[in-house]
Amino acid sequence: MNTKHADGRMQQRAIPPLIINWLFEYGREEHDHRGAVIHYFDKRSIKKLQRDHGRRPIDRLTQYLDAYLVESDGTVLTVGHRFKRFYRT
């Protein structure tokens, strides 16, 4: 389930629903210490994607592998592209 804000951001930032599904399935999870969870791709999750779906399809979708999403209680709050590294606390 997505908020209107998340749907708008997905469209603005050209992030396809497939990437959102993969973020939930393969992405690394980090708690933001405010009640939400951030999902993003790291090296381990990209390797797992390549193992499950093949290297060529993932190489063609590399422009989307910097995507992240923020969710709370199963609802996607927002999505975007990472420009900076996520620092773990």
Q: How far, CA to CA in Å, does 10 sit from each of 18, 44, 49, 87?
A: 11, 24, 21, 24
Question: What residues contact 83, with CB distance under 8 A and at least 6 apart?
Answer: 66
Residue type, 47: K
Residue-wise pLDDT tens digits, 5-18: 999 999 999 999 99
Output the pLDDT for position 11: 94
* Residues pairing with 70 in the sheet: 38, 78
What is the average per-residue pLDDT within 27-35? 92
What average pLDDT is seen over the chain?
92
Q: How far, CA to CA in Å, does 56 sit from each of 17, 22, 28?
A: 19, 16, 22
Model confidence at 88, pLDDT cuts 50, 70, 90, reads: low
What is the average per-residue pLDDT within 46-60? 95
